[in-house]
Amino acid sequence: MRLPSQAEILAEAQRALRESGRVALGHIVRTEGSTPGKVGWRLLIREDGSTYGNLGGGAFEAIVQTDGKVMMACAVPVAEIKRYYFTETAVRGEPTGMVCGGLAEVFLEVLMAKPLLVVCGGGPVGQAIAQHGALCDFENLVVEDREEFRDPDLFPAETKFCAVDREYSGEFMADFAHRELFVAIVTRCWETDRAALLGVARQTIPNLRYLGLMGSQRKIDRVRDEVETDGVDLKALNLQAPIGLPIGAETPSEIAISILAQVIRSRGTAEEEAS
């Protein structure tokens, strides 16, 4: 049996985090007596329950897998060292029902990706949102149909980009659909605002935490009418329009701050509801 290396485990964790936003990692840190797994063995547990790595298999590994899923379901997971006994009963720790007779201590933690800020529109306001979003520890995804506004020099390092057509017709959030998503629509005109809003609405996003649309009230009313005519229930999406908190913002940077303040408030509300 070949055990994945630490580098391979972490590479797979990074890939899983990109898709789902959180994974659990179990790491055997101490053993006594006869055990199926050894110190240093690791198991990565994805949100769907699938795993990568090995702790020794059997009931022990299945219990760690369940414990990892339970920990991932917590709004604010707390890492801990859990003790598992390879016996039918145990006074301290958790029995596995196995008969090896030893014990293993597993450091179990949840790795969490940064929340993903999806900026539809790479113009001056979109650039400012990405800059302030990076400072607020968000990961940025900029979605744009114009190549010149997907220039990495205009955005913080590590910003991701997605090219779309003017109708935002592709599944531009498919790779991140299970992440915690915060979407700001700040495109160049009402037609592309409408296209972006429809593009978001047609995708399945179970963890859409925020959706905001920039513009004057007249423009927002026009976009709302167009989108609702196409059958979209904007109440279900909890659209924030006009976008941002009313702080009298005028410059792109001020508008970005008002938007990030609203995004951060919505994130805090979601965490309170989950806890």
Express each pLDDT in 69-85 by its tens digit. 999 988 788 999 998 88
- Would you place residue 93 in the very low, low, confident or very high pLDDT band (cuts 50, 70, 90)? low
Query: Mean pLDDT in the chain?
Result: 89
Q: Is 13 helix (H, G, I), strand (E, B) or coil?
A: helix
Q: Is the pLDDT of residue 202 over 80?
A: yes
Q: Please state, for a pLDDT cut of 90, what percent of the chain lies above it.
A: 60
Range of the domain at 95: 6-112
Mark whether 128 and 222 lie in a shared domain: yes
The residue assigned the tokens 């520890």 is: 137
- Domain final position from 55, 81, 112: 112
Mark whether 93 and 121 lie in a shared domain: no
pLDDT of residue 231: 84
DSSP annotation of 52 reads: E
Note whether residue 1 is domain-resident.
no
Distance between CA atoms of residues 131 and 125, nearest Å: 10
- Virtual torsion, Cα 10, 4, 16, 117, nearest 10 deg: 10
- Which of the listed ranges 4-8, 25-29, 60-64, 203-207 does the model predict with the highest average pLDDT? 25-29
Mark whether 51 and 121 lie in a shared domain: no
- Domain final position from 69, 96, 112: 112
Asked if residues 234 and 213 have their Cβ atoms less than 8 Å apart, the reply is no
- Would you place residue 5 in the very low, low, confident or very high pLDDT band (cuts 50, 70, 90)? confident
pLDDT of residue 82: 92
Average pLDDT of span 53-67: 89
Q: Is the pLDDT of residue 262 over 60?
A: yes
Distance between CA atoms of residues 84 and 238, nearest Å: 45
Q: Is 94 helix (H, G, I), strand (E, B) or coil?
A: strand
Task: Enter the tokens of residue 30.
Answer: 């101490």
- Domain final position from 89, 112, 135: 112
Average pLDDT of span 84-101: 65
Asked if residues 30 and 39 have their Cβ atoms less than 8 Å apart, the reply is yes
CATH number of domain containing 142: 3.40.50.720
Asked if residues 94 and 104 have their Cβ atoms less than 8 Å apart, the reply is no
Lowest mean pLDDT among 14-23, 52-61, 236-245, 266-275: 266-275
